[in-house]
Structures are given as structure tokens and as C-alpha cells.
Amino acid sequence: MGDISYSNNSGISNGNSHANAMLVQRKGCWYEEEIEENLRWCFALNSILHTGASQYQDIQLLDTKPFGKALVIDGKLQSAETDEFIYHECLVHPALVHHQNPTNVFIMGGGEGSTARELLRHNTIAKVVMCDIDQEVVDFCKSYLVVNRVAFCDPRLELVINDARAELERREESYDVIIGDLADPIEGGPCYKLYTKTFYELTVKPRLNKGGIFVTQAGPAGVFSHAEVFSCIYNTLRQVFKYVVPYSAHIPSYADIWGWVMASDTPFVLGADDLDLRMKHRIKGENRYLDGKTFTSASTFCKAVRKSLDNETHVYTEGTARFIYGHGHGHNSATKHN
């Protein structure tokens, strides 16, 4: 849950009802996110650009000192100006370059537009459907996130405001790649049902073309935090697809390693050099983070995480859902303290 607090240099900063006073030496306006019950991540703000609530989610846009503009939804930082390229390059490009010839892609979520931006850099792409449930988030990002304005205006992009499950079930067309750029599975949030075995098996997989690839963001993937949801999302996809590849990267503004999982019934056979060649031929401009060697490294985990992934038995269902720490709409708010 994210809180905004103002403090003088007296050494005591007042939090909200979720936290007692903290003995710290700091001055000015700060953003705090409670990552775990006993762990908070905070950074200084230049200003609060917007705070509000849609039908589904609380929304904040902050101008932060270390990470530039930052989008916060339901008290969880979604992306920050200085390092969002890491998240979005990792989410999009591995699946796109592993696919033989991706022409049409469906994005579940992705309201800020960054996933569409990265997809539209690929010269094979003829159509991208971006389906986000929250019109207000999309309109807000169109207005404030200048870096994605070109993507929102691209004629290859079809923007749909709807529940992703309902939209996939309504449509008759199938896709080369389906991308899950959804909010984290948090209790009370709108997205956790879109991480379940039933959804992957009955809704996602039937909408993939032959050779199609599904990829989803899968939450924190650190040496400890991967046990929250990452390992069970990976194991759940193993029940549905023949070939499943988890990978991760450090994202500074998230204060953790982050994870993604890519899945298909077609094997992933390309090495680092092959990936580099496809990126060179297909992608307009240079990636800042991802290349073949980076992906090889990203899909190699430390011993503890590998062992945990191999031994994971939990399958994500609506009745046995796991959540990352935090609560959905109605439980969080941005508050100011003088």
C-alpha cells in the first residue's frame, strides 16, 4: 500500500493509521510503499501530479526524485520513467522474437501504453489489440505519459475497454502472441482471476494460433519474494503448456527482482546469437536493456530459486489463489500529512 507523507527535519514522520511514527532523519515529501508487513520502501517526491480513484482502482501519478514520473495503482508502483524500459522490454521482446512471424498480438491490461509501444517497434506486427478494464487509467496515461503518445496514435493499435477474459471469449479471432500486462494479483484487486489455470486453459490457450506464445508478468522473483506468486504462476502454466520459460530482471524502482513467464506448445530453441539477429532485423531502434545474452542470463536463476521452482506444487485457482502483499481498491488511499 502506498502512502505519501510530509515531514520536517525533527526526525519524526507521521504515517497513516497503518503505521506508527517512524524515527527517521528526512525532510520534504516522501512516497512509502509497504512491501511486506515489516518492510517499507520509500523515496523523495518533487510533487504529486495527480491522485484519484476510478471504479476499479486508486490512481496516483508522482514526480519522484530518484525515478522521475511514477504511476502508482492500488498502492503499488506500476512503472517509473527512468526504468520502465527494463520491465516492458522483458515483457514484450522475448516472446516476439521467439515467435517465427508474429503479426497480431492481444494485450491483457497494458493501459499505460508502454507494452503497445514496444510491440509496435516490431516490423512484423500488423495489429495489436490492447484490452484494459479501466477507461480512466487509459485516458490518464494518454494525457500524462508523453513517451507513449505515438503508440496510442498508431493505426495498428486497437484499444478496447473491457474485461480481458470477456473480450477474449467474445472474439473469434486468434493471436500469435497474448501478453498478460496485468496488475499484480492482490486480494480485492480486479486481476487475480486472470492468473488461474482455468483462465489459461479455457480462455488464453484456445485463442493462440499454432506456434503461439503466451507471456505474463508474474510478480516479484527475488530469492525470497518469488515464493509469493511467481513460483505458482510458473507451475500453473506448466499444467497447461508443454514448454514454459521463467525469467527475471532487477528493476530498481520496484526494489526487487521481477519475474515473467513465457509459455507455448512449441519449443523455445533460439540461442543468444539467433535472438540478436532477429532483434536486429525486426525491431526499430536499439533496445536499452534486452539482447540475446541478457535473455540467456535472465532465464538462469540462482540455486535456491531453481530448486523452489522445480519443487513448486501449488496450482493457481480462484479457490486457492495466492496474493502479493497489499489490498485492492477500497483498502488503499493516498494521504497527505502535515
Residues 183 and 248 occupy one common structural domain:
yes
Is the alpha carbon torsion for 120, 134, 30, 3 positive or negative? negative
Residues 176 and 223 occupy one common structural domain:
yes
Q: What's the mean per-residue pLDDT of the chain? A: 88
* Average confidence (pLDDT) over 215-221: 96
Q: What is the pLDDT of residues 94-119, one digit of tens each?
A: 999 999 999 999 999 999 999 999 99
Most confident of 26-40, 53-67, 185-199, 233-247: 233-247
Residues 51 and 94 occupy one common structural domain:
no
Residues 272 and 291 occupy one common structural domain:
yes
With 70 as the cut, is the pLDDT of residue 330 above it?
no
154 is catalytic: no
Exposed e or buried b for every residue in 16-32, given b needs 16+ CB within 10 A?
Answer: eeeeeebeeeeeebbbb
Q: What is the pLDDT of residues 253-287, one digit of tens each?
A: 999 999 999 999 999 999 999 999 999 999 999 99
Of 22, 57, 78, which closes a domain? 78
User: Residue 67's pLDDT band (boundaries 50, 70, 90)?
Assistant: very high
Is the alpha carbon torsion for 142, 144, 145, 149 positive or negative? positive
With 60 as the cut, is the pLDDT of residue 20 above it?
no
Q: Give the model's pLDDT for residue 4.
A: 66
User: Residue 5's pLDDT band (boundaries 50, 70, 90)?
Assistant: low
What CATH number is associated with residue 248? 3.40.50.150
Would you say residue 12 lies in a domain? no
With beta carbons less than 8 A apart as the criterion, state whether 105 and 178 touch. Answer: yes
Residues in Cβ contact with 102 at an 8 Å cutoff, skipping those fewer than 6 apart = 95, 96, 122, 124, 125, 176, 177, 213
Residues 127 and 72 occupy one common structural domain:
no
Range in 60-69, 189-198, 243-252, 262-271 with the lowest mean pLDDT: 189-198
Would you say residue 132 lies in a domain? yes
What CATH number is associated with residue 53? 2.30.140.10
Q: What is the pLDDT of residues 186-207, one digit of tens each?
A: 777 668 889 999 999 999 999 9
Residues 152 and 202 occupy one common structural domain:
yes
Residues 272 and 246 occupy one common structural domain:
yes
With 70 as the cut, is the pLDDT of residue 165 above it?
yes
* Average confidence (pLDDT) over 137-162: 93
Taking the whole predicted model, whether its pTM rises above 0.85 is answered as yes
- Give the active site residue among 181, 184, 291, 310: 181
Q: Which three cell numbers stand for residue 275?
A: 535472438
Q: Give the model's pLDDT for residue 223.
A: 96
Residues 101 and 73 occupy one common structural domain:
no
φ and ψ at residue 99, rounded to 5 degrees: -75, 145
* Average confidence (pLDDT) over 246-257: 96
Would you say residue 42 lies in a domain? yes
Would you say residue 239 lies in a domain? yes
Residues 201 and 159 occupy one common structural domain:
yes
With 60 as the cut, is the pLDDT of residue 222 above it?
yes
Residues 111 and 149 occupy one common structural domain:
yes
Residues 35 and 177 occupy one common structural domain:
no
* Average confidence (pLDDT) over 50-79: 90
The one-letter amino acid at 119 = L
Q: Give the model's pLDDT for residue 7.
A: 53
Would you say residue 318 lies in a domain? no
- Domain tally, the chain: 2
Would you say residue 130 lies in a domain? yes
Would you say residue 14 lies in a domain? no
Q: For residue 48, what are the domain limits?
A: 30-78
Q: Give the model's pLDDT for residue 323.
A: 83
φ and ψ at residue 145, rounded to 5 degrees: -95, 90
Would you say residue 200 lies in a domain? yes
- Specify the DSSP element, H or E, that contains 82: none
Can you tell me the distance from the alpha carbon of 220 to that of 227, in angstroms, rounded to the nearest whole number?
Answer: 8
Residues 280 and 133 occupy one common structural domain:
yes
